[in-house]
Chains A and B, each alone.
Chain A
Amino acid sequence: MPIKVLIPTPLRPYAGKQSSVEVSAQTVGEALSNLVAQHPDLRKHLFSEDGKLRSFVNVYLNDEDIRYLAKDATPANESDTITIVPSVAGGV
């Protein structure tokens, strides 16, 4: 069943300029894998060379950070929305 993945502004050029993409998956990890399979240019922006999610990329399942759920193994279904947001920080 399709799960909606919301794509943040800076990653849309690598996702066919779409603000959301639908993927079929049973876990968040599978959804992200299928997302980069559909849009291979996204891979290096989401994952480091060792395949881990980049530290500044936050992935939420609905309102929950997957780091505090079961990470990649977090179950997902068609009523869920996965949101990707790069972090926003800085300072002098």
Chain B
Amino acid sequence: MALKISNALLDQLRAHGEQTYPHECCGVLVGQFDEAGGKAVESVIACGNTRTDSPKNRYHISPAELIRIQRESTLEGRDIVGFYHSHPDWPAKWSSTDLDEAHWTGCSYVITSVEKGRAALTNSFLLAGDEQSKHFEDEDIEAK
């Protein structure tokens, strides 16, 4: 399965990581699931990072923001299909903290590395399994 996203939206989330550097950025990917389990991103919604105690290496999206996005998406006939965050001066791969604190199984977790203020590699990981067996799987990003 792949995460389908336009180049413009991919650029948007990567730019968010540059804007918040050296702090982590975070946001929500809204779109559609297809029958085969793939996902298409239709909008990228930037969120605030509430981890003001450690914003260089932690992120957290306010539940109130998630509630609003989920409610509005449902009304529009769309779904939350994933999330994104940045790793300032750190590789674009998931960390043990990312896995411990990931709970949206079936969704994509996109990570952009930001090196010295410039967005570098961007990868996507599918959170598979359920809460007891959850794990990240590499996921292709189909950008066009």
Contacts and interface: CB of A to CB of B under 8 A. Distances in A.
A10 B95 contact: no
Nearest to B87: A92
Chain A interface residue bracket vs B: 20 to 34
B104 A89 contact: no
Contacts of A9: 33, 79-81, 104, 106-107
Given A83-B67, A90-B85, 8 more contacts: A9-B80, A10-B106, A58-B63, A63-B64, A88-B103, A90-B100, A90-B109, A91-B98
Contacts of B87: 92
Nearest to B111: A90
Interface of A: 6, 8-10, 13, 19-20, 44-45, 56, 58, 60, 63, 65, 81, 83, 85-92
Contacts, number: 97
Chain B CB within 10 Å — which of A60, A86, A88 has the most?
A88
Nearest to B103: A86
